[in-house]
């Protein structure tokens, strides 16, 4: 019975960590209120992203 409780506790902790990770990742994406948004890429460089039907479609390095 202790083994089942331990396994259940580990599964609950893993589920909580996964939920926190998903929630944190979802909060990083900007709102697509216009056609093009500029945001910060993984290395800190600016990225231009095109929005299509309210969600990010394609991101690329800003150009002229």
Q: What pLDDT is stored for residue 32 in this prediction?
A: 78
Q: Render pLDDT for 16-42 as a digit per residue (tens, 0 to 9).
A: 999 888 876 665 566 777 788 888 887
Sign of CA dihedral 52, 58, 61, 64: negative
Q: How far is CA 63 from CA 1, 44, 49, 51, 57, in A?
A: 62, 16, 12, 17, 17
DSSP classification of residue 43: T
Q: What pLDDT is stored for residue 7 in this prediction?
A: 94
Where are the domains positioned within the chain? Answer: 1-29, 31-64
Q: What pLDDT is stored for residue 17 in this prediction?
A: 92
């Amino acid at each position: 019975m202790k083994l089942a409780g331990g396994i259940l506790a580990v599964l609950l902790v893993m589920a909580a960590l996964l939920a926190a990770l998903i929630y944190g990742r979802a909060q990083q994406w900007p709102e697509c209120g216009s056609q093009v948004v500029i945001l910060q890429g993984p290395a800190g460089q600016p990225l231009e992203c095109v929005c299509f039907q309210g969600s990010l479609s394609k991101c690329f390095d800003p150009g002229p």
